[in-house]
Each structure stands twice: as C-alpha cells, then as structure tokens.
Amino acid sequence: MDFGLVLQTDPPASALVGLMRRAERNGFRYGWTFDSAVLWQEPFVIYSRVLEHTERLIVGPMVTNPGTRTWEVTASTFATLNDMYGNRTVCGIGRGDSAMRVAGRRPNTLARLGQAIDAIRDLAEGREAVVDGTTLRLPWVKEGSLPVWMAAYGPKALALAGQKADGFILQLADPFLTEWMVRAVRTAAAEAGRDPDALTICVAAPAYVGDDLARAREQCRWFGGMVGNHVADLVTRYGEHSGAVPEELTEYIKQRTGYDYSHHGRAGNPDTAFVPDDIVDRFCLLGPVEAHIEKLRRLADLGVDQFAVYAMHDAKEATIDAYGQRVIPALSG
C-alpha cells in the first residue's frame, strides 16, 4: 500500500513544503492538497516548490474540478510541472464542492466532468483534445504522463469513475462503504471494456494517532461534515430511501442544518456538531498505531492501493512521524 499526505494550502506555503518534505522522509509517496482558490492559496504555485524540494514525491490536487480553470490551462500547468520535474504529478478531480460553491457557482455536471477527464489527460500527454468545440494540442509536450483519478460517492459518479478515470478517490475510510463503492467502480470499468484491476483505488481520510479518543474525535469531526455536503447532494438527487446510496452513508445527516465554508476542513468546525462519534470512528483512523494498522489491512484486503492521510488537526508532525516509523513499514510490500 502507498501512502499520501493531504493538506490545505494555508499560508505560509513554506510550512506546507516542510510537511511534504517530512512526509517524503517518512516513506509517503504522494503529496496532495485541497484546491479552492478563494479559501486557500493557489496549489499549483506551491507544487513547484514542493517538487523542487523533494526527490520522488508525486503531487496533485484532492481535488480540482472542470470549472475554476479552463481545461487547457489545467493540462498545461500539469504538463509544465512534469516537464520541469519528471512526470511527478497526478490529477485528482471531481465535480467541485467548496471551489465552486464559495464562488457562487453550482458543481459541474457529470457529463462535463467526463469530457474534462479525457481532455485534460490527452492534452497533458501531448495528444489532441476538443475543448468547447475547438481541437487543441500542446505542441511542446514530450513524453508527458498524467494519471487522472476521480473522486465520487453516488452511483452515477462511481460509474463515471469506472468508465473514464485511471484511479478512484474515496474520501472516507469505512470498510463497508469502501467495499460497496469499489465494487461499483470496478463493475462499471468492466462493463465499459476496461480492466477493472488497472484502476488505482485511493482512500483518503483523517488519521490521528494516540490513546485519547475523545481528543482525536474532536480534531477530526470536521471530516464528517465535509462528507455530509456530498451526501446531502445525493439525498437531494436520489431520495433518502431510494436504495441508490447505502443508508449507512445517508442516515447521519438528518440533523444537518447548514454549512459555512469559512470553516471548511478545519478542526473545531461549528457546523459539524451533528456528526456523531460512531461516524467519526467509521470514516477516520483514530487510536493507537495498532488500530490504524488493523483498519488499513482491512482496506488493503478490499483492494485499496493508497491511503491518503488528511492532516488538518493539531498533530500533523506526530501523525506523519508515527506513520513513517510504524504504520508504513507494517503495510509495505
């Protein structure tokens, strides 16, 4: 199993670069960031500095979207980083939550997302692509490589990930839901004539190492609220008891009353009081090292190739070090 570190691009950027360097020294292979231009600093500028100050780390957004940048700009940015640092980027992409809503826009349609996945990958790898009716190519791209991994929860989005993406990003670490969603993605891939086992499966969730479970839960409760935004969209689209989405995912948002993006992804988010302890425990990795290893082994048995650690809490360095010293060695090979 590979490991990634997920951070927000809060200033100063030098602090993020330092944490990514620390992660690489501890055996992490991927460095991910949020991508929401109003809420945080511009990630692609910071990626250049991260790549310059690391040797092997692969970087990318978790996740970008097809609406805040034109597709040729996104592709050109990735291709430029790859030309400078040797194909060390990955494009995580989704419909857009905070980046679109904070700017007063609706998340992108799945149809547009599917078109963007093809176009961004093709352009970044030097092939022609149609963007808004015009055929484009980046003539300077030589031997470019850009895996595109899609984030999804709902049945139509899971199907699109299987049909189009090189990898699937699942932002929660509940084994039951992971099994359900990975099966849906791989079934869609097989039905589209693709090799389902060729898709990379990435589970991303907060991890907090320590014996104080109450503290860990409070530091990571924000994550249930973030996932709840997507779940609320699914309930609106499919209905509460449609069977299209497992009730294990939808039941907990009944007490959700609203969401202020100024607290998005932050410990102590006041809009996440509705998230019960059992959801925090299911969606996150909490407790002593042994508990993390046990849950990660369960996820690996379900076909998970990478676990990406959300480290938006008060123990970033301690978590990175604990994973490097004990967790990653236990899951390697």
Tens of pLDDT, residues 1-47: 999 999 999 999 999 999 999 999 999 999 999 999 899 999 999 99
pLDDT band for position 98 (cuts 50, 70, 90): confident
Determine the Cα–Cα distance for residues 220 and 284; give it in Å rounded to an integer. Answer: 7
Higher confidence at residue 236 or residue 224? 224
| For range 165-185, the mean pLDDT | 96
Residue entry with tokens 């990630």: 43
| For range 62-82, the mean pLDDT | 97
Q: Report whether pLDDT(130) > 90.
A: yes
Q: Report whether pLDDT(48) > 70.
A: yes
pLDDT of residue 240: 66
pLDDT of residue 23: 98
Would you say 79 and 138 are in contact if contact means Cβ atoms under 8 Å apart?
yes
Q: Any idea of the CA torsion for 188, 129, 166, 93, to the nearest 10 degrees? A: -100
For 134, counting Cβ atoms within 10 Å of its Cβ (0-12 exposed, 13-18 middle, 19+ buried), the class is exposed
pLDDT band for position 288 (cuts 50, 70, 90): very high
Determine the Cα–Cα distance for residues 175 and 232; give it in Å rounded to an integer. Answer: 21
Determine the Cα–Cα distance for residues 182 and 93; give it in Å rounded to an integer. Answer: 17
